[in-house]
């Protein structure tokens, strides 16, 4: 005899619940079922309530794993959680179900009842499997991309190296011609040879920059570390810049802290970084403006700020200027020369030393400042 639930509220809860929920008595016969169970398994109340669970809908619930769960595991543990059951159901086909059950004792008559919740996770499993596959594919693509980038960098490094040899010969011989070591040139010849030499030198500079860029990206740039007397190095660089500034009617100011320590770094690279940043400041600051450099010790690093009151950088270009070969197109910058490699290269070289480089600008025509750090004791990355 199947008993009828007396507790109306309990029955209402079971009825309304969105998931498929079965209430069974201790003989595993159905006492009550949520409406969604009928909808989902396409069965009617009259062929469900009072039936043994295994007999429901042409015995489609007579599943060995469910028997094991209800007859062995549940009596022992009084509950089970998240058991996945894959089964070919007569009414709805092959599905994966997630089963949760609780065995509870009712206070009224001390009868044991079982709550069995059934969740169809077939679609979720499919999506999870799809996501897993997509993740694997993405990983493969990323690996391939990294490999391609590495090949590109190595190719560039080799190419630029190969290009330098003939170029050095072009530059060397045009210098010999220009010096008239082997006989005089007429005015036109001298002018043309000078053009060849100027272009050759420019090309060599470019190739060296590309080679450096490729080297950093291929992880092949090495630092030649030594102890750098920062104060004298900064003075040396600023003399060079003062020359450039002098021609252009720009004011330059230097604020170098008294207690500046020597640092462990690569002499040529630090000079190159400073030269790149200061020459940018000069280049992108119209006449009448100011540029400057502030250097101080901050904890275990020195911090260098190269600032100017020049044409500034719009926020949308802040990332692009580090991509390489990117030059912001403004009427003023169109008048200046360059390749767009100085800044990205400087950033990489700072990072190679274990420092950081940041560019800040309030926007167009509101100046720029480049702030970078160099550790006092090398934390060389490579």
Q: Which residues bind ligand ATP (CB under 6 A)?
A: 276, 280-281, 284, 308, 310-313, 321, 327-328, 333, 338-344, 368
Q: Which is nearer to ligand ATP, 6 or 199 (CB)?
A: 199
> CB of 243: closest distance to ligand ATP in angstroms?
17
User: What Cα–Cα distance (Å) separates residue 69 from each residue in 76, 100, 112?
Assistant: 10, 10, 16
Residue where the block lists tokens 């079922």: 33
> CB of 188: closest distance to ligand ATP in angstroms?
30
280 binds Mg ion (CB under 5 A): yes
Q: Which is nearer to ligand ATP, 264 or 308 (CB)?
A: 308
Among ligand ATP, Mg ion, none, what does residue 341 contact (CB within 5–8 Å per kind)? Answer: ligand ATP
Q: Which is nearer to ligand ATP, 101 or 311 (CB)?
A: 311
Q: Binding string to Mg ion for residues 235 to 274, with x set by CB under 5 A, is what? A: ----------------------------------------
User: What Cα–Cα distance (Å) separates residue 32 from each residue in 4, 21, 23, 25, 91?
Assistant: 8, 8, 5, 9, 20
On whether the CB atoms of residues 266 and 223 are closer than 8 A, the answer is: yes
Q: Which is nearer to Mg ion, 77 or 202 (CB)?
A: 202
The stretch among 4-12, 51-59, 339-347, 365-373 that binds Mg ion (CB under 5 A) is 339-347
How far is 144 from 149, CA to CA, in rounded Å? Answer: 9
**201, β-bridge pairs:** none
Tokens describing residue 276: 């790149």
Other C-beta atoms lying within 10 Å of the C-beta of residue 324: 17
> CB of 216: closest distance to ligand ATP in angstroms?
14
Among ligand ATP, Mg ion, none, what does residue 98 contact (CB within 5–8 Å per kind)? Answer: none
Q: Which is nearer to ligand ATP, 28 or 210 (CB)?
A: 210
> CB of 296: closest distance to ligand ATP in angstroms?
20
Beta-strand relationship, 301-308 and 368-375: antiparallel
Q: Which of 310, 342, 355, 367 binds Mg ion (CB under 5 A)?
A: 342
Q: Which is nearer to Mg ion, 292 or 344 (CB)?
A: 344
Residue where the block lists tokens 């009868």: 111
Among ligand ATP, Mg ion, none, what does residue 201 contact (CB within 5–8 Å per kind)? Answer: none
User: What Cα–Cα distance (Å) separates residue 369 from each residue in 89, 99, 284, 293, 304?
Assistant: 70, 62, 12, 9, 10
Task: Look at residues 294, 350, 354 and name the one whose alpha carbon lies nearest to residue 322.
Answer: 350
Among ligand ATP, Mg ion, none, what does residue 313 contact (CB within 5–8 Å per kind)? Answer: ligand ATP
- Cα 151 from chain centroid (whole Å): 21
Task: Look at residues 105, 113, 103, 63 and name the one whose alpha carbon lies nearest to residue 84.
Answer: 63
Among ligand ATP, Mg ion, none, what does residue 340 contact (CB within 5–8 Å per kind)? Answer: ligand ATP
Q: Which is nearer to Mg ion, 37 or 372 (CB)?
A: 372
> CB of 245: closest distance to ligand ATP in angstroms?
14
> CB of 226: closest distance to Mg ion in angstroms?
26
The stretch among 26-34, 70-78, 88-96, 342-350 that binds Mg ion (CB under 5 A) is 342-350
What does 299-358 look like in DSSP terms, one character per residue? TTEEEEEEEESSS---GGGTTGGGSSS-----TTGGGS---S-HHHHHHHHHHHTT--EE
How far is 81 from 65, CA to CA, in rounded Å? Answer: 14
Q: Which is nearer to ligand ATP, 292 or 342 (CB)?
A: 342
Q: Which is nearer to Mg ion, 31 or 274 (CB)?
A: 274
Among ligand ATP, Mg ion, none, what does residue 368 contact (CB within 5–8 Å per kind)? Answer: ligand ATP
- CA angle 369/355/157 to nearest 5° reads 100
On whether the CB atoms of residues 291 and 278 are closer than 8 A, the answer is: yes
> CB of 339: closest distance to ligand ATP in angstroms?
4
* CB-based closest residue to Mg ion: 342
On whether the CB atoms of residues 101 and 80 are closer than 8 A, the answer is: yes
On whether the CB atoms of residues 365 and 311 are closer than 8 A, the answer is: yes
Task: Look at residues 129, 51, 28, 128 and name the one whose alpha carbon lies nearest to residue 41.
Answer: 51
Binding site for Mg ion (CB under 5 A): 280, 342
């Amino acid at each position: 005899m199947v008993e009828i639930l007396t507790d109306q509220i309990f029955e209402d809860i079971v009825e309304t619940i969105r998931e498929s929920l079965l209430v069974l008595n201790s003989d595993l016969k159905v006492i009550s079922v949520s409406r969604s169970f009928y909808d989902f398994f396409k069965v009617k109340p009259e062929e469900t309530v009072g039936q043994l669970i295994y007999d429901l809908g042409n015995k489609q619930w007579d599943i060995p794993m469910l028997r094991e769960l209800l007859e062995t595991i549940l009596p022992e543990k009084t509950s089970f959680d998240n058991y996945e059951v894959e089964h070919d159901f007569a009414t709805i086909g092959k599905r994966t179900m997630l089963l949760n059950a609780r065995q509870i004792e009712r206070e009224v008559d001390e009868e044991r009842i079982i709550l069995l919740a059934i969740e169809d996770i077939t679609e979720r499993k499919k999506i999870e499997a799809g996501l897993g596959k997509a993740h694997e594919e993405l990983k493969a693509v990323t690996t391939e991309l990294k490999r391609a980038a590495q090949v590109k960098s190595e190719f560039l490094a080799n190419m630029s190296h190969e290009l330098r040899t003939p170029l050095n010969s072009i530059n060397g011989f045009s210098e010999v011609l220009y010096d008239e070591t082997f006989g005089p040139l007429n005015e036109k010849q001298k002018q043309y040879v000078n053009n060849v030499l100027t272009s050759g030198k420019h090309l060599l500079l470019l190739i060296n920059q590309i080679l450096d860029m490729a080297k950093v990206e291929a992880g092949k740039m090495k630092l030649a570390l030594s102890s750098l007397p920062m104060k004298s190095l900064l003075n040396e660089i600023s003399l060079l810049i003062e020359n450039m500034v002098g021609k252009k009617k720009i004011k330059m100011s230097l604020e170098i802290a008294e207690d500046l320590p020597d640092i462990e770094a690569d002499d040529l690279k630090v000079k190159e970084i400073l030269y790149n940043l200061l020459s940018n400041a000069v280049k992108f600051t119209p006449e009448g403006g100011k540029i400057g450099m502030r250097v101080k010790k901050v904890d275990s690093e020195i911090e260098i700020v190269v600032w100017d009151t020049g044409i500034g950088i719009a926020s949308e270009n802040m990332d692009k200027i580090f991509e390489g070969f990117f030059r912001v197109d403004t009427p003023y910058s169109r008048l200046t020369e360059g390749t767009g490699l100085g800044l990205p290269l400087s950033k990489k070289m700072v990072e190679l030393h274990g420092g950081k480089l940041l560019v800040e600008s309030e926007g167009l025509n509101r100046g720029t400042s480049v702030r970078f750090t160099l550790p006092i004791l090398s934390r060389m990355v490579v």
